[in-house]
Chain A
Amino acid sequence: MGGRTAGKSDGLIDTLGFYEIPEGVRLEFRLAGPVVRASAWAIDALIRAGLYLLLSMVLGLLGGVGMALLLIGFFLIEWFYPVFFELRSGATPGKRSMGIQVIQDNGLPVTPAASVIRNFLRIADFLPLFYATGLIAMMCNREFKRLGDLAAGTLVVYRDEKRERVHPPTDKVEKPPMELSEEDQLTLLAFSERADELSSDRREELAALLSPYTHRQGEANVAALYAYANWIVKGR
C-alpha cells in the first residue's frame, strides 16, 4: 500500500500523517504524542493494579489450584493485557479514555502479530526507567514510534469521534460582492459550518475582518457571510 508520511504538510510542522489506499485516495490521521500516550499508560497501570488486587483476593482463598490460577493470571495480565484489548477494539481502556487507538501503518486494524510484538517490546522501551528508551525512539522519527511500533509497523493515532453534519445557520443566499479564490471559499464555508462552535462575540469579531467588503457590521455582517457560504454551496 502506498507511501505515507507525517510531520510535514504544506511546509508546516504538523502531526498530521496520511496513507494511500488502493482506491487511490489519501486518508489522514492525527498522531498521538508522548504525553497523551503516557497518560493512557498511567490509566492502564491503575486498571492493571486493580486487576492484580481483585485476582489475589478472589483466587487467594482457593488454595493450591487457586494459587496456580492466580500465577497464570499474573502472567496473562503482565504480557497480554494490552494485546487482548488492542485486538478487540484497537485500544486498551486507558487509550480509549484518552481517545487514541493503535492501527497498522497501512491504516488497517492492528494484527495479532503486530500487537504482540509492540507490546512485548515494551520492556525494551521501558529501559532504564519509565520508557526512556521509547521516548528517545519517538523523538527520532516523524511518527512518534517507540521501538515496539517500529518493529511491529504500528501507529498510535487519535480516534475519530463521530461528528454529525450540521445544517447551514441560514437559508438566505447572496452572491459575494467579489471574485473569491478557492481558498477564500473554503474559509467562508468553514466559518459557516462552525457557527455552533463559536460564541456570538467571536463570530462578530472574525466577521469584522471582512466588513470593508460587506459594508455591514455586527450580526448583519455575520449573516452576510453565511449567505455567501450558501451561495458557494448552492449557486445562484
Chain B
Amino acid sequence: MRQEAFEQEYQPLWDQLSEVMDDLERPRSKRRLESARLAEFPMQYRRLCSHYALARSRGFSPMLVDYLHQLVVRGHPLLYKRASVWGWRLLAFVSFGFPQAFRRHLGAFSISLLFFLLPGVLMGTACYLQGDMIYSVLDESTVAGMESAYDPASDHPGRSEERKSDTDVMMFGYYILNNIGIGFRTFALGILLGVGTLFILIFNGLVIGGVAGHLTQLGYTETFWPFVSGHGAFELTAIVICGGAGLLMGRAVVAPGPEGRLATLKANALEALQLVMGAALMLVVAAFIEAFWSSSTFEPQVKYAVAAVLWLLVILYLSLMGRRGRGSR
C-alpha cells in the first residue's frame, strides 16, 4: 500500500482516536464522550501502534511517522496510568502500611537507633559528670539559651528568653519546618554511602544527650524532663526511623543485592519513602504535642503519666498494627 492510500484509509481512525484522547485527558467530571466510545480506546490504540510500526518499516514520510509517534506517545500514559484514591491510600498507609514497613526494616531501625542512642548516652553521662563538657558540642550562647529556657524560675518552660512572647501555634509551625526538615535530610543524605545519615544521627545524639545531661546536672529536672518526655515519644522515634530509611539508601549503594546496584537502589528508595512519610506524620503529631501540651504548666506527675501513655501508644502502634494472623510480620 502506498502512503497516500494508507493515510486515506486510516486518517478517520486517527482523528477519532485523537478526539478520544482529548477527552481522556480531561478530568473525569468534564468528559464529553459517552463511555462506549472511551471503552474502544484500548483496541483503537493497539491498531494505531501497528500503523506506526508499519509506517516506520515501509519508509513512509518522516512527517507521517512523526505524527503517528506523537499519537502513540500521547496515548501510552492514558492507557497505562494508574488511578489512585488519595483518601483511601492515606488511611491504609496509616493503619497498616507504615507499621508493616517499619517491621520489615527493623534491622535498619536498630542500627539507626544504635548510632543515635550510643553517642547520646555517652555524651549525656559525660555532661552530667562534668559541667563544661557541653561546650564541646554547643557554643556558649546556645547553651545559655538552653539554660534560660529550662530555668525553673522561668514561667514558660521549653522556650528560650526571646521566644517567650511567641504563641504556641507559631511554635507549631516552627517545629513542622525544623523537625520534619531534619527527618527528610536524614533520609536523603543516606544515598551518600550512608555517611550523611550517620553524621546527622550521631550529631543529634551528641547534642540531645549533651543537653539532657547538662540540664540534669544543673538540677533543672523539674522543667526539662516533663517538657521533653511527651513529644519525645513521637519525635525521637520518627527521627530514628528516618535514620533507618537513610541507611536503607546507603546500603543499596554500598552493598547492593543480586539484582544490581541500580535496581536495589530503586527498590530500597520506595521502601525508605514509606518509612519517611510515616515518620513525617509522626513528626506532625510530635509538633502538635510539643507546641500545645509540652509547654503547658501541668504538674510533672501528670506530664510523666501522659508521656508514659504516649510512649506505650507509639510502641504498640509500630509493633502491632497491620498484623494479619500467623506468618505475617
Pairing of A with B: yes
Interface residues of A (CB under 8 A from B): 21-25, 27-28, 63-65, 67-72, 74-75, 78-79, 107-109, 111-113, 116-117, 120-124, 127, 133, 147, 150-153, 160, 162-163, 165-166, 182, 185-186, 189-190, 192-193, 229, 232-235
Complex Cα distance, B128 from A93, in Å, reads 53
Complex Cα distance, B66 from A164, in Å, reads 10
Interface residues of B (CB under 8 A from A): 2-4, 45-46, 49-50, 52-53, 59-64, 66-67, 69-70, 72-73, 76-77, 80-82, 84, 166-167, 169-174, 176-177, 180-181, 184-185, 187-189, 191-192, 196, 249, 262, 265-266, 269-270, 273, 276-277
Which of A27, A68, A162, A165 is B173 in contact with, Cβ under 8 Å? A68
Residues of B with C-beta under 8 A to A70: 173
Q: Are B185 and A123 in contact (CB under 8 A)?
A: yes
Complex Cα distance, B2 from A24, in Å, reads 23
Q: Are A151 and B249 in contact (CB under 8 A)?
A: yes
Q: Are B273 and A117 in contact (CB under 8 A)?
A: yes
**A contact face: mostly helix, strand, loop, or mixed:** helix
Residues of A with C-beta under 8 A to B185: 123
Say how far B143's CB is from chain A's closest CB, in angstroms. Answer: 25
Say how far A144's CB is from chain B's closest CB, in angstroms. Answer: 15
Q: Are A152 and B62 in contact (CB under 8 A)?
A: no
Say how far B126's CB is from chain A's closest CB, in angstroms. Answer: 31
Which of A64, A75, A120, A152 is B166 in contact with, Cβ under 8 Å? A64
Say how far B158's CB is from chain A's closest CB, in angstroms. Answer: 17
Q: Are A25 and B53 in contact (CB under 8 A)?
A: yes
Q: Are A124 and B177 in contact (CB under 8 A)?
A: no
Which of B45, B73, B173, B191 is A147 in contact with, Cβ under 8 Å? B191
Q: Are A166 and B63 in contact (CB under 8 A)?
A: yes
Q: Are A165 and B2 in contact (CB under 8 A)?
A: no
Complex Cα distance, B173 from A212, in Å, reads 78
Given A64-B166, A165-B64, check contact A186 B59 (CB 8 Å): yes
Q: Are A21 and B62 in contact (CB under 8 A)?
A: no
14 extra A-B contacts, CB within 8 A, seeds A25-B72, A74-B177, A121-B191: A27-B73, A64-B167, A67-B166, A67-B170, A68-B174, A69-B173, A79-B181, A107-B77, A120-B187, A122-B188, A124-B196, A151-B269, A152-B266, A235-B2
Residues of B with C-beta under 8 A to A185: 59
Complex Cα distance, B172 from A112, in Å, reads 27
Q: Which of A25, A160, A186, A232 has the most chain B CB atoms closer than 10 A to its own CB? A: A25
5 A-B contact pairs sorted by A residue (CB < 8 Å): A23-B72, A78-B181, A108-B81, A186-B59, A233-B61
Which of A67, A68, A116 is B273 in contact with, Cβ under 8 Å? A116
Say how far A229's CB is from chain B's closest CB, in angstroms. Answer: 8
Which of A24, A79, A151, A186 is B53 in contact with, Cβ under 8 Å? A24
Which of A28, A75, A152 is B181 in contact with, Cβ under 8 Å? A75
Residues of B with C-beta under 8 A to A65: 167, 169-170
Residues of A with C-beta under 8 A to B188: 120-124
Complex Cα distance, B4 from A165, in Å, reads 14
| Nearest B residue to A231, CB-CB | B2
| Nearest B residue to A121, CB-CB | B188
Residues of B with C-beta under 8 A to A232: 3, 61
Q: Are B4 and A68 in contact (CB under 8 A)?
A: no
Which of B70, B81, B169 is A162 in contact with, Cβ under 8 Å? B70
Complex Cα distance, B81 from A172, in Å, reads 45
Q: Are B266 and A153 in contact (CB under 8 A)?
A: yes
Complex Cα distance, B46 from A232, in Å, reads 27
Q: Are B4 and A233 in contact (CB under 8 A)?
A: yes
Complex Cα distance, B76 from A24, in Å, reads 12
Q: Are A108 and B76 in contact (CB under 8 A)?
A: yes
Q: Are A117 and B269 in contact (CB under 8 A)?
A: yes
Q: Are A190 and B62 in contact (CB under 8 A)?
A: yes
Q: Are A21 and B49 in contact (CB under 8 A)?
A: yes
Complex Cα distance, B189 from A133, in Å, reads 12
Q: Which of B73, B82, B84, B166 has the most chain A CB atoms closer than 10 A to its own CB? A: B73
Complex Cα distance, B189 from A151, in Å, reads 12
Given A68-B169, A71-B173, A185-B59, check contact A27 B69 (CB 8 Å): yes
Complex Cα distance, B181 from A123, in Å, reads 11
Say how far A91's CB is from chain B's closest CB, in angstroms. Answer: 14
Complex Cα distance, B168 from A67, in Å, reads 11
Q: Are A124 and B4 in contact (CB under 8 A)?
A: no
Residues of A with C-beta under 8 A to B61: 186, 189-190, 192-193, 229, 232-233
Which of A71, A111, A189, A235 is B177 in contact with, Cβ under 8 Å? A71
Residues of A with C-beta under 8 A to B63: 165-166, 189, 193
